[in-house]
Structure 1
Amino acid sequence: MSARQKVCVLPGDGIGIEVTEAVLPLFDTLNLPIDLSFGDIGWSCWQKEGNCIPDNTWKLISASNATLLGAITSKPLREAEAELSPALRGTGRVYVSPVIQLRQKLGLYANVRPVTDVLGDDRYRFSVIRENTEGLYAGLDFASIPPGFEAVLAERERNGAAWTREGPDDATMSVRLQTRAGLTRLFRFAFEHAREQGFDRVTLADKPNVLRYSGAFARDILESVAADYPDIHSNIDNVDAVALWMVRRPERFGVIVAENMFGDILSDLGAGVMGGLGLAPSANIGAQGAYFEPVHGSAPAYAGQNRANPSAMFLTVALLLDHLGHGQAARAIRNAVSEVARSDQRTYDLGGSASTREVAAAILQHSLDWAERLDGATAHRAPPAVKQGAHA
């Protein structure tokens, strides 16, 4: 690849800064044709400016091929207001998570969470794909019953609804919004991802036996999209059953796709199946770009202690490199992370005592070793097959 690419790096808050700094030497170590630019994001921006993504950061993002994001701090509304600089308090500033802003403004509708057997014997490999912009997290969350819904609830109450309330302010309401356009692009992304990754199954995790109408709506769209991918089997499972089988038999899955809240829960469960959030990367991809982030939080209690696991950030960079067309380097990084995670050089979350910088140095060296091994004829070799059990 001759043209150099641009990556915007936003280190974030807390341990996000530490793991980002530990991983960045990778770009030079592997001699990647990528130029890095750095921007500000997160809680300190909110405190100083009442804006957690400054205008200059948006400009850097728009001028880049992709964005690498460190963990960011997010707090409830009351705490957010209290931590503003005194001059900004009471001026109507509203805190909106940087993650939500990025996903909505850039149209990043697909959150991709690979789940791989980093600590074991490569028994399983699958992806959870979460819808990012609709579902129960669409923003239709109300402090009281909106007037337009009052007649609907009143009718249900006349027909014997189990809930008890005295008026519109005696209840709250959240609405699960799913659109035909949103589900169609999500399901098509899931099938394309399955084909690219060599998976033979797409499973929609939903609750159609309870959410009957929205579930039927999603089913019709899934079946319509699936008709264009006859080589890939598709099915719908109850989300609770999917959670059970992710723990007991993760090898049965290829791609799990779900609306926003179900996908949020299942993707973190996938991190637990892997061994913890310290191993879990993610990609957010859509029509106008992509950003990549490890899914652990900013963990302010551990900031500055040189204890955080950098593995998730290394695996996140591997996803970024795959997206930019550097598949061989991405494979070298994944192999390196797995080797180090299975060694005695582990951070505290994996039962070891190694520091962030020690583990990062080991992964950097193994990445270079693997890159040299993969150079040449084996550079484009297919990834090793994953054992898959019956799809019962």
Structure 2
Amino acid sequence: MTVLHSSALPGQPARHRVCVLPGDGVGVEVVEAVLPIFEALALPIDLDFGQIGWECWRTGGDPVPAETWVKIAAADATLLGAITSKALQEAEAELPEHLRNTSRVYVSPVIQLRQRLSLYANVRPVTDVLGEGRFRFTVIRENTEGLYAGLDFAAIPAEFEPVLKARELAGAPWHRDSPEDATMTVRLQTRAGLTRLFRYAFDYARKHGYPRVTLADKPNVLRYSGAFAKGILESVATDYPDIAYNIDNVDAVALWMIRRPERFGVIVAENMFGDILSDLGAGVMGGLGFAPSANIGDAGAYFEPVHGSAPAHVGQNKANPSAMFLSLALLLEHLGYHAQALAIEQAVAQVVKHDCQTYDSGGQATTRQCAAAIIERSVLNLSPLNPQTENGRALPARSHA
């Protein structure tokens, strides 16, 4: 059922509208289990439901229908469930027969959202949910440029041939007989793109009490693009004298994320490096079932759990809802509901450590059982009788070292 946004009455606080896109597979089950928290916490938020994902592609040839874009544009933020994506040939084969061979190309909905809405910052908090709070850091990944900018070619474009031939004449180690004997992907980084990314990373560090920003790159190999990024980082850093910064090789960052995760504050990286590190961060947390994400731009935002649609688990009521709750907490923080966001974050940690665990944590609790426990605990965390709250509001988050 769609609950349409309504303006607040005079004297009442403004209401927000959130577009809810359940997605595919277990995404639908998880979203259904989590949504009761809006009512349980008495949040002044109206939900507007839309369609997105694989079934939209299979039936209409567009994974993000036009009416969904309208709903997203009308909302203050979007909550997205897990999405199914498949390779180009598989996608073509699953189209209705009348839409096949019509030059339709499947583009992942999440890529469409990030590109069309210019959601340049992918924010992935990594917290010690299952432990004793030993580490808490955030990976901020550039979302629109880098190796995922879309400059991916099945054969060498004619414009690049002179460059490659010059390298080959100079003794390049590769061998090819024609342009079709090689592929090419270009890592595109612009001054504007890196500047806004680094500025967001420093702002995020300052807001959340992190003392350091680490750029994860590979400047010893990617010398020119690495030097380009370094210069921009140093320029931006002059506006944040209270925040330290450094540049580490991405492989070293991966190593230390596992061995000493507590050493990091904000890790910022271009698209592909950030993609890999953020999933590694999910592993450090305990798995994708605990990994939330936010996708932020200057004029829009959507929030989603990192895990996939898990077709093999559909209908089994076993998916871990923790990542969706933590993604929802990021959404609420974005909209200004800080106490409620913290109450949910605390509830997830309390429940998964002491009350119930889904199959991915070695337990047997169902999606709905775990979700109900987290909702109940979230309400208790906001109670004025709870020692972790003050005057009926959850205590503010501590600074993160």
Structure 2 length-normalised TM: 0.95
The separation in 2 between residues aligned to 1:381 and 1:225, in whole angstroms, is 32
How far did 1:347 drift?
A: 0.2
In the alignment, what sits opposite 1:140?
151
Equivalent of residue 233 in structure 1, options 237, 244, 256: 244
The separation in 2 between residues aligned to 1:378 and 1:232, in whole angstroms, is 33
In the alignment, what sits opposite 1:26?
37
Equivalent of residue 328 in structure 2, options 314, 317, 325: 317
Q: How does 1:226-375 map to 2 (within 5 A)?
A: 226-372=237-383, 373=386
How far did 1:288 drift?
A: 1.9
Query: What is the SS of the residue equivalent to 1:67?
Result: strand
The separation in 1 between residues aligned to 2:247 and 2:219, in whole angstroms, is 9
In the alignment, what sits opposite 2:228?
217
1:382 correspondence with 2:396 = yes
CA contact (8 A) 1:200 1:232 kept: yes
The separation in 2 between residues aligned to 1:384 and 1:378, in whole angstroms, is 18
The one-letter code matched in structure 1 to 2:140 is I
CA contact (8 A) 1:344 1:352 kept: no
How far did 1:375 drift?
A: 5.4
Equivalent of residue 207 in structure 2, options 196, 216, 220: 196
Equivalent of residue 96 in structure 2, options 76, 80, 85: 85
Deviations 1:246-270 (A, max 9, x none): 0000000000000000000000000
1:39 correspondence with 2:53 = no
How far did 1:207 drift?
A: 0.0
The separation in 2 between residues aligned to 1:370 and 1:301, in whole angstroms, is 35
Equivalent of residue 139 in structure 2, options 103, 115, 128: 128
The separation in 1 between residues aligned to 2:381 and 2:394, in whole angstroms, is 13
How far did 1:371 drift?
A: 1.2
Query: What is the SS of the residue equivalent to 1:342?
Result: helix
How far did 1:382 drift?
A: 3.2
How far did 1:89 drift?
A: 1.2
The separation in 2 between residues aligned to 1:196 and 1:304, in whole angstroms, is 41
Equivalent of residue 173 in structure 1, options 157, 181, 184: 184
Deviations 1:208-263 (A, max 9, x none): 00000000000000000000000000000000000000000000000000000000
The one-letter code matched in structure 1 to 2:378 is S
Query: What is the SS of the residue equivalent to 2:329?
Result: helix
How far did 1:97 drift?
A: 0.6
Deviations 1:58-107 (A, max 9, x none): 11101100000000100010000000111211222111110011001111
CA contact (8 A) 2:381 2:394 kept: no
How far did 1:385 drift?
A: 4.7
CA contact (8 A) 2:216 2:267 kept: yes
In the alignment, what sits opposite 1:10?
21
Equivalent of residue 197 in structure 2, options 178, 186, 195: 186
Q: How does 1:69-108 map to 2 (within 5 A)?
A: 69-108=80-119
CA contact (8 A) 1:19 1:310 kept: yes
Name the % identity: 70
In the alignment, what sits opposite 1:51?
62
Query: What is the SS of the residue equivalent to 2:78?
Result: strand
Equivalent of residue 125 in structure 2, options 94, 107, 114: 114
In the alignment, what sits opposite 2:218?
207
How far did 1:383 drift?
A: 1.8
The one-letter code matched in structure 1 to 2:379 is L
Structure 2 residue runs without a partner (length 5+):
1-11
How far did 1:344 drift?
A: 4.8
The separation in 2 between residues aligned to 1:200 and 1:308, in whole angstroms, is 35
How far did 1:384 drift?
A: 3.3
Q: How does 1:143-154 map to 2 (within 5 A)?
A: 143-154=154-165
How far did 1:377 drift?
A: 3.5
How far did 1:140 drift?
A: 0.4
Query: What is the SS of the residue equivalent to 1:160?
Result: coil
CA contact (8 A) 2:342 2:394 kept: no
Deviations 1:136-182 (A, max 9, x none): 00000001111111111111111111111111111000000000000
Higher mean C-alpha deviation, range 335-344 or range 174-183: 335-344
How far did 1:379 drift?
A: 2.9
Structure 1 residue runs without a partner (length 5+):
none
The separation in 2 between residues aligned to 1:31 and 1:193, in whole angstroms, is 28
The separation in 1 between residues aligned to 2:396 and 2:91, in whole angstroms, is 48
How far did 1:345 drift?
A: 1.0
Higher mean C-alpha deviation, range 149-158 or range 113-122: 149-158
Structural RMSD (CA): 1.1
The one-letter code matched in structure 2 to 1:233 is A
Query: What is the SS of the residue equivalent to 1:72?
Result: coil
